Structure 1
Amino acid sequence: MVEEAGKASGLVATSTITHATPAVFASHVASRANEADIAPQLLENDVDVILGGGKKYFPESLLNEAKAKGYQFASNKEDLAKVKKSNKLIGLFAEDGMAPELDRDETDQPILSEMTGSALDVLKNDKDGFFLMVEGSQIDWAGHDNDAAWAMKDSEAFEKAVEKAVEFAKKDGNTLVVVAGDHDTGGMSVGGYGKGDAKLEVLRQVTATGDFMESKLNADRSNVKEIVKQYTNLDLTDAEAGRIKTAKSPSMAINQIVSERAIVGWSSTGHTGTDVPLYAFGPGSDLFRGLHENTDLPVLMGEAMKIKFTPGK
């Protein structure tokens, strides 16, 4: 839609860049699982900036095709920082999804705000304007795992990306920033277990995801107390250690214990029907006042860009 209107476009995500949310903006396939079919469509549909994980879906032949079309390529944080002035950019920073923000220091991957800044640096060169979608993909993944520290850390990373976008919009004066989620995941509550208010200082001391901690357990999980202490500063009781040792999913057991200690409740490991917040800043932001169906948003964004858009057509 925006390419047909002569505008540049970009997709940024911490999942694979061929994952459901980024893919829906620039591809048509029978199933969201067909990520290998989605990757070439991002190039066919002239997405100017492609930043995220999913390197395994971009074979050398496809990357050579991209380079022939003028795309610069980045594979790590340092590459991205060195990108010269360009009108097209592909950055693929992990074979699959990128590392959670909590585990990012174990990698050479950029953070979401850095990818957002690089995308804006490329897209702003189009005099006709641009559309950029930035997803903090793993807030959802953390909700599925009931991993409170992961959810909070990736939310913080997303907030920094929003700050980058709003900073650009304030300087530009002609950019609309819309912030929304497609759904809630996990039904997180601040408080729970009949114990009152959350203890956020517990989460602030967590330095790794439950998945990462599970990867550090030995075969018989006899080192569970040491690993949890190292990455959460919590001293597990024998009963808590036993729960993790016997759990079908040790990471989920770790997450549940951290949540209980932090008094952060969960109602689900799936998506919920809770209304999600909607924020807008800049020209056209008044269009987003009030309560909206999620299918209203692309129509309103089209209206703000003076592009007529009818869902399903």
Structure 2
Amino acid sequence: MLPLVLLAFTAPTACLHAAAPKKNVIFMIMDGTNSNAVTLSRWYKGSPLHLDGILTGGVRTYSAESAITDSAAAGTAMATGVKTKADYIGMDPEGRPLITVLEAAKLNGYATGIVATSPVQHATPAAFTSHAITREEFSSIGEQQVYQDIDVVLGGGSSWLAPKKKNHPQDDGMLKTDEVTRKDGEDLKKPLRGAGYAYVDTRKELLLEPSAGKLWGAFASEDLSYDLDRSELKPDEPTLREMTRTAISHLSKEKKGFFLMIEGSKVDWAAHQHDPVGMISEILSFDRAVGEALSFAKKDGNTMVVAVTDHGNSGLTIGNTDLDGSYKHQSVSRFIDPLKKARLTVEGAASLLEGKDAKDALDAYGLDSQSCRWSPSKKELKAQMTSSLSQKAGLGFTTHGHTGEDVFLYAFGPGKPSGLHENTDLPGIMADFLGFSLGTYRSWYADGRDSLEKQGYEVTLKTGTANPEMVAKKGKTILRFPENKNYYMSNNDKIPLKSVTVFNGKTFYIHLDSM
């Protein structure tokens, strides 16, 4: 027998080389947030934010057609590296699909995930996972997401997974049922289960779910509740921090690494309503999720965390015209104390309305019965409530829409971006860190009709139904490409594709190298 010491020196050379470390990217987006809102949230919290420690620069947010972007164009820019038009999801300004950094990460062997407090079919998560000519195509967006083979999806939007009637609130608070969420009649939970997903719809199920395998969590028919309202009104819904922790736990088990997009969606929604309490609620919720991501990244050592907002919203100011002559003498408590009296956001408070007694709603929002007169419309009452509270807190607003300012860039970890960037720079920076180039995928999606006709097929488009498809015939071979699916039918055989088939209303786009 050879001496033990000789055995140690005769090990194969390959064993002497360590495997390349896994790399991960966690991209976090705080929708519709301006700098005053972040400052106000820090004062409200009374201590530094997790974001404060990773501030590295700024981001320009304008779209291809406007100085003030919408979330669809902004999300597409940050997902694809190309500026586009308002309402376009994963499409260039001419309406052609662009591969996203999430799709490219998947093609390069990385696990992928999305987390949102909005419906996952909403503009920002949609821009990373689907392609549509308008952000309102929730059915098509949801179907593409199901067939994108994303490893973890957590958020709202369960109503867009099944063909059932949709209840929606009226101004009188009653529910009216007259819409079908999926007019194509498809139950998308079936292909999810067929693809091996665990499907959960409560906080308890999420926290008990083993941290391995594919996971789809849909915790509300549309959006999740505001974080401040959750414990009182929606205790079965998870927090953004809990969804972040679960997503990271699942994805970190993968061999190569992962790409995870997380959106704190509802700062934007609160800003549109001029609700400072709702804005603070969601900024602090997002910041706790950032803390969760940073905790993982600091232990891991090979994770890039990037956090940014996609655009400003509402023009919130700490100070208003009432303080023109006295702003120099206003303490922090002057702005914060009135906000602290609210135990619910305006949306949560308005949900307490019963009959025509607004007292409970006013109390929940930190106002007395003299603050607002009763309005016959819940929408009008909410506007009165937010106006009254903002006046008491010395806050101002310039618009109910988006704003065009540059926003803060936050980043941590190897390869982190710093300085002032275009929003289109971010996906390329993240792709480079993961070891691939988005530029190599610019021609990924091809005009299906043109490509197949060059191969001798006779191509027709069947677009007069709820399930459009492209049909190609050559001899006895018939190929069928249903929109939004990651497969095509060759006669009776189902053939997988590397990407979903995209239909923009005129043209079917496919990836031919899959065939």
TM-score (norm 2): 0.57
Distance 1:34 1:3 in 2: 24
Q: 1:114 maps to which residue?
A: 242
- State how far apart, in whole Å, the 2-side matches of 1:97 and 1:233 are: 24
Q: Which whole-Å deviations, capped at 9, do the CAs of 1:206-239 have from their partners, x for residues lacking one?
A: 12222233333344x4x3345312x1333243xx
Is the aligned partner of 1:102 residue 2:102? Answer: no
Code of the aligned partner of 1:251: K
Does the 8 Å contact 1:9/1:123 carry over to 2?
yes
Q: Which runs of 5+ in 1 are unaligned?
A: none
In the alignment, is residue 179 of structure 1 matched against residue 307 of structure 2? yes
SS of the residue aligned with 2:389? helix
1:30 to 119, 133, 143: 133
1:265 equivalent among 390, 396, 402: 396
Counterpart in 1 of 2:292? 164
The alignment partner of 1:94 has SS state of: coil
After TM superposition, the structure 1 stretch with the greater mean CA deviation from structure 2, 263-272 or 188-197, is 188-197
Distance in 1, Cα, partners of 2:204 & 2:354? 34
Q: Say whether 1:69 aligns with 2:195.
A: yes
8 Å contact kept, 2:117–2:240: yes
Cα distance between partner residues in 2 of 1:227 and 1:153: 17
- 1:274 deviates by 1.3
Any gaps of 5 or more consecutive residues in structure 2? 1-103, 163-185, 444-515
Q: Report the residue type matching 1:216 in the other structure.
A: L
- Alignment partners' CA distance in 1, 2:270 and 2:207: 28
Question: Is residue 233 of structure 1 aligned with residue 366 of structure 2?
Answer: yes
Aligned match of 2:405? 274
Q: How far, CA to CA, are the matches of 1:12 and 1:128 in structure 2?
A: 20
- Which of 266, 269, 274 lines up with 1:141 in the alignment? 269
Displacement of 1:246: 6.8
- 1:33 aligned partner, one-letter code: E
* Structure 2 letter corresponding to 1:154: E
Aligned to 2:210: 84
1:46 equivalent among 134, 149, 158: 149
Counterpart of 1:209 in structure 2 is 345
| 3-state DSSP of counterpart to 2:383 | helix
In structure 1, give the amino acid aligned to 2:189. L
Instruction: Kindly state the Cα deviation for residue 312 of structure 1 after the two structures are TM-superposed.
Output: 6.1
Q: CA deviation at 1:279?
A: 0.7
1:193–1:260 Cα contact (<8 Å) kept? no
Distance (whole Å) between structure 2 residues aligned to residue 37 and residue 134 of structure 1: 21
Indicate if the aligned counterparts of 2:274 and 2:400 stay in contact, CA closer than 8 A. Answer: yes
The amino acid that maps onto 1:34 is: E
Cα-to-partner distance string for 1:240-282 (whole Å, 9 max, x where unaligned): 423x537762112111111111112111111001111101000
Q: Is the 8 A contact 2:349 2:365 kept in 1?
A: no
Structure 1 contact 13–135 (Cα < 8 Å) conserved: yes
Kindly indicate whether the alpha-carbon contact (under 8 Å) linking 2:311 and 2:407 is maintained by their aligned counterparts in 1. yes
Whether 2:148 is the aligned partner of 1:14: answer no
Distance 1:232 1:143 in 2: 16
Note the C-alpha offset of 1:118: 0.4
Q: Structure 2 CA distance, aligned partners of 1:193 and 1:127? A: 57
* Distance of 1:217 and 1:51 partners within structure 2: 30
1:61 CA drift (Å): 3.1
CA gap of 1:172–1:144, structure 2 versus 1, over 3 A, is same
For the residue of structure 2 that corresponds to 1:299, the secondary structure is helix
Q: How many Å apart are 1:299 and its aligned residue?
A: 1.4
- Aligned to 1:199, the other structure's residue is in SS state helix
Contact 2:343–2:366 (8 Å) recurs in 1: no
* Deviation at residue 142 of structure 1 after TM alignment: 0.6
Secondary structure at the aligned position of 1:235 is classed as coil
**Structure 2: distance between partners of 1:218 and 1:61:** 36
Q: 1:224, 1:245 within 8 Å by CA — same for their partners in 2?
A: no
Structure (1/2) with the larger helix percentage: 1
Distance 1:167 1:217 in 2: 41
Partner SS, residue 61 of structure 1: coil
Match among 230, 238, 245 for residue 375 of structure 2: 245
Instruction: Mark the CA change 1:218 to 1:84 in structure 2 (over 3 Å): closer, same or farther.
Output: closer
- The 2-side partners of 1:37 and 1:293 are apart by 29
**SS of the residue 2:245 aligns to:** helix
Aligned residues: 305
Instruction: Check the 8 A contact 2:153/2:215 in 1, yes or no.
Output: yes
Matched, 1:224 2:358: yes
Q: Could you say which structure has the greater relative contact order, defined with CA pairs below 8 angstroms and 6 or more residues apart?
A: 2
Residue 172 of structure 1: how far off its partner (Å): 0.5
Greater shift in the superposed pair: 5-14 or 199-208: 199-208
Distance 2:119 2:421 in 1: 28
8 Å Cα contact 1:72/1:86 also seen in 2: no
Considering fraction of residues, name the structure with more strand.
2
Q: Is the 8 A contact 1:116 1:161 kept in 2?
A: yes
Whether the 8 Å CA contact 1:12–1:116 is kept in 2: the answer is yes
**Residues 181 and 276, structure 1, Cα contact 8 Å, conserved in 2:** yes
Residues of 2 paired with 1:53 and 1:227: CA distance?
A: 25
The letter of the residue matching 2:411 is A
Partner amino acid for 1:210? V
